[in-house]
């Protein structure tokens, strides 16, 4: 009889949900120091020895929840908590990307976290929208700006005033397989200096079985694209000039596209796509498995080579240049630490910001994560510099550009990318495509 089933099912779920409701109510519903304490104790794997009682409790949000990064960030937090007796920082993890939506909602409701990690290229945007706090009174008082690489410091300024402190950064370099170089008769200790030399070397590195490539020396489409090359070809200039005018159709940008198209023509776009699709899962890495000899990636790629590379004999070099002396320009990114607008304890939060960007914390972060950090002194620590990859990356930072979103056209890339795609697919010529992109971006900048 179905009715009996139903009644029983109802009774069961009713009892179950009553019990669970009770459990939820008694389980401490909202914040408060008691809940914070319980959470801190429950979450930290390291087991904090400091109690938040009687201290100002600060919420610190990051997306570093993995078992490799989490213990590192929590060790830093724990050290800070032990170092004084007025402030207690409570670290919470939320998944990347979604954490920004969550923060935005919290800021809009006037109840944000006290300290937040964020993207370095969008600081000005957040500053202009009252999402991040103006830190100039603290920076003036404590004179911290000289800690940072100037290129990074510039990105946190809005109308000349700082709204965040740079935390870490990265830079794109060329990782290459030395054994492949030897096998192809190339000098394994000398990476090609210009793009033309690179293309010639790449041809020697290709390997074919019948009609299919078993190894591709290099394609600028592997883990990199025109957005990187155009900046390198254009002497380190991104899509806007000094005065903020779009320069999407500058000759150098067209040359970069031509370079990519020539490479695609030689290898066959189909072959490149096949390689890309095979590795699109972000699982198997073609460089580590010997299918690609030259690979563009950020500093941190070294840890993957170290952990999964099976003793691969590799070298690292800056990006090539267009001709000698033109510059090995590269692109970097990174993250900042900031105080969201409307946070309740900015004075205490600032102490933590200062601590996180100081030499000691930055050195620890850099060593444990193999990340480039924003603090110049920490970057140059002898321990780190003894690693050739790290050394190369710090040298690379000197000609690495950041590409912060312009305030009047933060989504300009959405207008450029489709034209790039059309050119790559052969649906339009380089010049027509770039002119169209230029016109679209100009229109966007002018405000329609």
Partner 1 sequence: MAHPQHAAARRGRSLASREALQGFVFVSPWILGFLLFTAGPMLFSLYASFTNYDITSQMAWIGFKNYDTMLNHDPLFWKSLRNTLYFVVISVPLQTAAGLLLAMILNRRMPGIRLFRTVFYLPSVLSGVGVYVLWMMLLSPSAGLVNLTLSWLGIDGPAWLTDPAWTKNAIILMKLWGSGSMMLLYLASLQGVPSKLYEAAELDGAGRLRKFWHVTLPMITPVIFFEIVTGFIGGFQIFQEGYVMSYGNDPGAPMNSLLFYNLHMFLKAFKVFDMGYAMAMAWFLFLIVLLLTLINLTLSRFWVHYEGGEQ
Partner 2 sequence: MNMATFSKREYAREREQERKIALMKASPAKPLRRKLSTLLLFVLMTLVGLLMLVPLWWMISTSLKSMQEIMSYPPTIVPEQVHWDNYIHAWQKGHFGRYALNTLLLAGIGVFSHVLSNTFVAYGFAKIRFKGKKLLFSIMLGTMMIPSFVTLIPQYILFSKLHWINTYLPLTVPGFFGSAFQIFLVRQFFMTIPNELIEAGKVDGANHFRIWWQLMLPLSLPVIATIAIMTFQGAWNDFTGPLIYINSESLFNLQIGLQAFKSTETTQWHYLMAGSVIVLLPVVLLFFLFQKYFIEGMNISSATKG
Residue numbers at the binding site for partner 2 (CB under 8 A): 2-3, 5-6, 13-14, 16-17, 20-21, 23-24, 27, 29-31, 35, 38-39, 42-43, 59, 63-70, 92-96, 98, 101-102, 104-106, 108-111, 278-279, 282-286, 288-291, 300, 303-304, 307-308, 310, 369
Cα gap 342→111, rounded to integer Å: 7
Residues 6+ apart with CB under 8 A from 82: 49, 50
**3-class secondary-structure state, position 248:** coil
Q: Are 278 and 289 in contact (CB under 8 A)?
A: no
Q: Which is nearer to partner 2, 64 or 364 (CB)?
A: 64
Residue 136 binds: one of partner 2, partner 1, none (C-beta under 5 to 8 A by kind): none
429 scored as a contact of partner 1 (CB under 8 A): no
Residues in contact with partner 1, total (CB under 8 A)?
34
Which is nearer to partner 1, 131 or 396 (by Cβ)? 131
Query: Torsion over CA of 196, 200, 205 and 207, rounded to 10 degrees?
Result: 120
The smaller minimum CB distance to partner 2, of residues 103 and 234, is found at 103
Question: What's the CA gap between 106 and 307, in Å, rounded?
Answer: 38
Task: Spell out the residues 6+ positions from residue 176 whose beta carbon is closer than 8 angstroms to its own.
Answer: 191, 293, 294, 295, 314, 315, 316, 317
Choose which of 143, 277, 325, 386 interacts with partner 1 (CB under 8 A).
277
Distance, in Å, from the CA atom of 263 to the CA atom of 217, rounded to the nearest integer, reads: 11
Report the run of H or E that residue 372 belongs to, with start and end: strand 372-373
Residues 186-245 that bind partner 1 (CB under 8 A): 225
Stretch that binds partner 1, among 134-142, 181-189, 313-321, 419-427 (CB under 8 A): 419-427
CA atoms in the 13 A half-sphere facing the CB of 264: 21
| Range in contact with partner 1 (rule: CB under 8 A) among 139-147, 181-189, 191-199, 410-418 | 410-418
Is the Cβ of residue 235 or residue 280 nearer to partner 1 in the bound state? 280
- In angstroms, the CA 399 to CA 330 distance is 6
Cβ(189)–Cβ(168) below 8 Å:
no
Nearer to partner 2, 102 or 399 (CB): 102
- Which partner, partner 2, partner 1, none, binds residue 129 by CB below 5 to 8 Å per kind? partner 1
Check residue 341 for interaction with partner 1 (CB under 8 A).
yes
* One of 56, 72, 274, 439 touching partner 1 (CB under 8 A): 274
Give the C-alpha separation, 254 to 5, whole Å: 71
Site for partner 1 in 68-127 (CB under 8 A): 100-101, 104, 107-108, 125
Please, are residues 195 and 339 in contact by the beta-carbon 8 Å criterion?
no
State the nearest-atom distance from the C-beta of 378 to partner 1, in Å.
30
Closest CA to 330 of 320, 342, 316: 320
- Interface positions with partner 1 (CB under 8 A): 100-101, 104, 107-108, 125, 128-131, 225, 270, 273-274, 277-278, 280-282, 341, 410-411, 413-415, 417-418, 421-422, 424-425, 427, 440, 448
């Amino acid at each position: 009889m179905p009715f009996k089933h139903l009644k029983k099912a109802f009774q069961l779920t009713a009892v179950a949900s009553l019990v669970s409701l009770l459990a939820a109510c008694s389980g401490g519903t909202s914040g408060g120091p008691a809940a914070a304490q319980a959470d801190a104790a429950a979450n930290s794997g390291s087991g904090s020895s400091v109690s938040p009682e009687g201290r100002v409790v600060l919420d610190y949000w990051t997306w570093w929840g993995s078992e490799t990064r989490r213990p590192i960030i929590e060790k830093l937090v724990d050290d800070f908590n032990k170092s004084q007796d007025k402030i207690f920082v409570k670290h919470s993890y939320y998944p990347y990307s979604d954490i920004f939506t969550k923060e935005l909602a919290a800021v809009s409701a006037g109840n944000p976290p006290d300290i937040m990690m964020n993207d370095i290229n969008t600081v000005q945007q957040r500053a202009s929208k009252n999402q991040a706090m103006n830190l100039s009174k603290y920076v003036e008082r404590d004179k911290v700006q000289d800690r940072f690489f100037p290129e990074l410091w510039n990105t946190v300024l809005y109308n000349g005033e700082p709204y965040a402190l740079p935390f870490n950064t990265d830079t794109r370099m060329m990782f290459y397989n030395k054994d492949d170089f030897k096998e192809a008769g190339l000098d394994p200790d000398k990476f090609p200096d210009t793009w033309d030399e690179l293309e010639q070397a790449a041809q020697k590195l290709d390997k074919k079985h019948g009609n299919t490539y078993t190894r591709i020396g290099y394609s600028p489409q592997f883990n990199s694209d025109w957005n990187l090359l155009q900046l390198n070809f254009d002497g380190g200039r991104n899509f806007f000039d000094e005065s903020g005018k779009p320069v999407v159709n500058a000759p150098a940008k067209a040359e970069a596209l031509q370079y990519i198209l020539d490479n695609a023509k030689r290898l066959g776009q189909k072959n490149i796509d096949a390689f890309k699709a095979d590795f699109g899962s972000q699982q198997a890495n073609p460089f580590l498995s010997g299918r690609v000899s030259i690979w563009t990636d950020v500093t941190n790629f070294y840890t993957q080579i170290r952990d999964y590379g099976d003793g691969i004999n590799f070298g690292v070099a800056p990006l090539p240049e267009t001709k000698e002396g033109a510059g090995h320009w590269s692109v970097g990114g990174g993250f900042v630490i900031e105080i969201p607008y409307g946070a309740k304890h900015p004075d205490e939060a600032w102490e933590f910001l200062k601590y996180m960007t100081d030499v000691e914390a930055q050195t620890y972060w850099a060593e444990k994560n193999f990340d480039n950090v924003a603090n110049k002194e920490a970057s140059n620590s002898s321990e780190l510099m003894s690693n050739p990859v790290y050394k190369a990356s710090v040298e690379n930072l000197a000609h690495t550009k950041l590409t912060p979103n312009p305030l009047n056209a933060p989504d300009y890339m959405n207008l450029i990318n489709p034209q790039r795609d059309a050119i790559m697919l052969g649906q339009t010529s380089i010049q027509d495509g770039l002119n169209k992109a230029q016109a679209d971006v100009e229109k966007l900048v002018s405000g329609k």
